[in-house]
Structure formats: C-alpha cells, structure tokens
C-alpha cells in the first residue's frame, strides 16, 4: 500500500500548494465562502463524488451569526468578480455555503466522515517584507478577511484527500463522507449542519486542524479538552441628549456597556476547571457632546466543560442585565455561535494512533489524547452527535512550524504538513476494515 499511496501523494503535492494559496489569496470569512465553495464543489463533482449542497446540508433556522441580506448579496457579487463559478453559486446563495461529498464504495463497511473547515477570520493580513504570503504574492486581497488559522490548508487537504481516495477507491469499503464546513471561526457552522442530519449515518468521524502550537512533524491524536464556548452580541439602547445642556435627560448606553465589560472580567474562576471570558469589541456613541444612545459588545465565554461554560455564561447574563438597570437602558442579547465540550472515543484514538505510527513515517511523533485546553472548535457538535448514535469520533491536529500564532496577522504555516495530513487520513480510510471494537 505505502508505495502506491506515496506516489498518489507525490502527484498531488504541488496541487495542494496551489489550492491553499488560491484560497488564502481570496480569503472569505464566515457565511461568505461563496468562491471557495463553488471551486470545492466543482472539483468534487469532476472527481465523481455524490454531492449535497447548501440548504440540503445546512438547516436555515439553526444558523447563528448570519450577516445581513445586504452583506450576503454584496459578498456574493464580490465572489463573482473574483472567479466564483456561477454554475454552482445558486446552491450557496444566501450564505448556505456547506458541502458534503460522498463516495459509495459498493462494499459493506462503516461510514467514515472527515470534516474540514473553509472560512477565514475577520482580520487584516500583514503587508510586510517579513510575511511570506505578502512577499510571494498570495496574501489576502479582501479587506478584513484573512486565513490566520490554517483553514485554507484544511480545505486543500480535503480536496487532496478526495483525489487520493478516488485513486484508491477499489481498496476502500463502506462509505466515505467529506464535510466542508463554513463558519467555524465564530463556532456557527457545525450546529446547523448537524441539525440537517449530515452525520446521522456516520459510524466513525474525524475533524482536523493544523498547527495550534504543536511540534512540527507531530500528530496529536485525540482531544481531551477543547473548551466549550458561547459567543453572543449585546446591544444596549439608551436615550441621546445634549451632554452639556440636558445630560440628566439621557440614558447612557456606552456607560452601561463599559460597566458590563468591567464586570464580566470580574466573574470568578471556576474550581472545576479552566474558564475564559472576553469582550472582543465595544462600539458606542456618535460624538463627544452627545450622551451615547447605542452600544455594541461582542462577547464570548469558554469553559473546560459544558457546565463550567454555562456557569460563566449565566454570570455574564446577570452582569449585562445589571448594567442595563443601573443606567436605565434597554438591552438585547443575540446568540452568535457556540461549541460543546467533547471527549474522543478511546478505541478510535488507539486505532488511529497505531495506524499513523505504523504507516506514516513522515510523522516524527504521534501523541495520544494530548490536551488543547485554551481553544474551542464547533466540530464537537459533529463528535457528540456521532457518539450519541453509537459511533466513534475524535479530533486530529497535525503539527507545523508557524510564523506566528493562530489568529495573528502574520500567521503562516509550513505547507509540507498538507501532504502528511492527506496521507495520514488516507491511511485511516484504507485501514478501516481493521478497526475492531470488542
């Protein structure tokens, strides 16, 4: 198997780099992945995969953090100008930018699903001589959109895996599903895909990531501790008035938001495990001589368990409401995203650990159940649904040298990690008949 598989990987290596750099240059943030989705769908269709697209894989009323209709329309037009394939675009219009590709082998066996994400962050990319994407001409051309977490590489890995699995189709059994998820960065895309039933038939599930501070050449096999998270916006609405002539007639939304922000950071830590709170955005007011009538906060909570996250979230709600009462303003809380805590399936982790160690010498180390205690990923919704249905699920992280940490404007990774990831995932699919549960 190894020689033939190595040949397949070698054939696809340059294409992986091309895809990654193309997606990086035309970065698209959550629910705006129009160009990316059309290119992915077209490639998968050419390979002969059975496709489910858009509304077939995303339940509309389960979406969170959806941009305005005007923003969706503007970004769709932008995608067309940047080369989105118009034949596929109607499937994704309105922000339904999800794809599930299925390979039916015609042989009995379990259903194996791989999930990759496609969205970029709302971040402006560095334009400096030290930043390789800028120097080599593939830095993002879209303002406030940047692949600073490796999802461009994830999407390329998904396409590369699709090619390799097709080449080795005669050796596969059961059914393979490739899930291309939008809107992971805000923890928004997985939940509506789960609600649409895309993993209800899945027996074995793997989500992937590259980097995350792990050693180059290593594979973190399993996931003990991604944090559960809740992401939400808070809008305070007060009353504007002249700040000099009639300040007593105003209701200060900015002051309510400022008091809430300070109060949120005073939430006590939980003795049961790690917790986090962050106010990432506070926008308010219109001018120096006007009592601010409007304020927006973008907030997230995190917890090592669902229960700890729920504790932090409830404390946050109390503080937000209290600040509104103190200033006599109204407030609205808008859910924007969420992810669960999820434990990997030990027998599935053990199988992957053994196969990777035996068949992928490119991996310098394979670590089981390594903790990732400071980040969250909404792939946990997929994991929990698969496990609830009696299946097995885990998360794999492929280590890579990084130029800067995730979510940094200078983020970049060693592109060689993509070929290693494709090979590892292909090995798991090819060796799946050996997966036995006592």
Count how many residues are written for the chain: 438
- Name the burial class of residue 388, with classes exposed (0-12), middle (13-18) and buried (19+) by CB atoms within 10 angstroms of its CB: exposed
Only one residue has tokens 């995350």, namely: 212
Whether 45 has a binding-site annotation, put simply, is no
Residue with tokens 């549960």: 437
Q: Enumerate the H helices of 363-414 as residue ranges.
A: 379-388
User: For the chain, how far is it from start to end, CA to CA, in angstroms?
Assistant: 26
Beta bridge partners of 181: 117
Spatial distance between the Cα atoms of 402 and 414, rounded to a whole number of angstroms = 7
Pairing of strands 111-117, 204-210: parallel
Query: Do the annotations mark residue 154 as ligand-binding?
Result: no
Q: Establish whether 28 is an annotated binding residue.
A: no
Residue 76 annotated as part of some ligand binding site: no
Which residue, among 78, 38, 76, has the nearest Cα to 54 in the 3D structure?
38
Is 185 annotated to bind a ligand? Reply is: yes
**String of DSSP letters for 266-329:** TPPPPTTS-EEEEEEEEEE-S-TTB---EEEEEEEEEESSHHHHHHHHHHHHHHHHHHHHHHT-
Q: How far apart are CA 122 and CA 75, in angstroms?
A: 14
d(CA 267, CA 176): 45
Tell me how far apart the alpha carbons of residues 404 and 127 are, in angstroms, rounded to a whole number.
14
Q: Cα separation of 309 and 226, whole Å? A: 12
Q: Which residues are annotated as a binding site?
A: 149, 151, 185, 209, 407
Q: Which residues are annotated as a binding site for Mn(2+)?
A: 149, 151, 185, 209, 407
């Amino acid at each position: 198997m190894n020689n033939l598989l190595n040949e397949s990987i070698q054939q696809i290596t340059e294409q992986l780099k091309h895809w990654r750099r193309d997606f990086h240059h035309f970065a698209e943030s959550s629910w705006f992945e129009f160009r990316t989705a059309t290119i992915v769908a077209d490639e998968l269709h050419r390979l002969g995969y059975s496709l489910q697209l858009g509304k077939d894989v995303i339940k509309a009323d389960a979406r969170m953090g959806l941009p305005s209709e005007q923003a969706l329309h503007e970004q769709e037009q932008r995608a067309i100008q940047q080369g989105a394939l118009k034949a596929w675009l109607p499937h994704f219009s309105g922000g339904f930018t999800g794809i599930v590709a299925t390979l039916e082998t015609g042989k009995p066996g379990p259903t194996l699903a791989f999930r990759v994400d496609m969205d970029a962050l709302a971040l402006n990319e560095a334009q400096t001589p030290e930043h390789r994407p800028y120097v080599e001409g593939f830095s993002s051309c879209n303002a406030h959109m940047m692949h600073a977490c490796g999802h461009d590489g994830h999407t390329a890995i998904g396409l590369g895996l699709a090619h390799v699995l097709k080449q080795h189709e005669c050796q596969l059994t059961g059914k393979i599903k490739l899930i291309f998820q939008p809107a992971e960065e805000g923890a928004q895309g997985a939940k509506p895909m789960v609600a649409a039933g895309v993993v209800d038939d899945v027996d074995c599930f793997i989500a992937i990531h590259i980097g995350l501070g792990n050693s180059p050449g290593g594979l973190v096999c399993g996931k003990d501790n991604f944090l559960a998270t809740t992401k939400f916006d808070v809008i305070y609405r007060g009353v504007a008035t002249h700040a000099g002539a009639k300040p007593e007639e105003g209701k200060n939304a900015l002051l309510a938001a400022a008091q809430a922000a300070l109060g949120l950071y005073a939430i006590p830590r939980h003795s049961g495990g790690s917790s986090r709170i962050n106010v990432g955005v506070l926008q308010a007011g219109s001018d120096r001589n006007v009592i601010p009538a409007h304020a927006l906060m973008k907030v997230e909570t995190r917890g090592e368990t669902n229960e700890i996250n729920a504790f932090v979230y409830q404390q946050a709600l109390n503080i937000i409401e209290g600040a509104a009462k103190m200033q006599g303003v109204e407030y609205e809380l808008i859910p924007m995203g969420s992810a669960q805590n999820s434990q990997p399936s030990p027998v599935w982790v053990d199988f992957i650990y053994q196969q990777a160690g035996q068949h992928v010498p490119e991996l310098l180390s394979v670590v089981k159940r390594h903790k990732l205690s400071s980040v969250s990923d909404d792939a946990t919704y997929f994991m929990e649904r698969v496990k609830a249905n009696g299946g097995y699920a885990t998360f794999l992280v492929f280590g890579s040298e990084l130029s800067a940490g995730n979510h940094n404007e200078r983020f970049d990774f060693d592109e060689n990690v993509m070929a290693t990831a494709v090979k590892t995932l292909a090995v798991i699919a090819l060796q799946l008949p050996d997966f036995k549960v006592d």
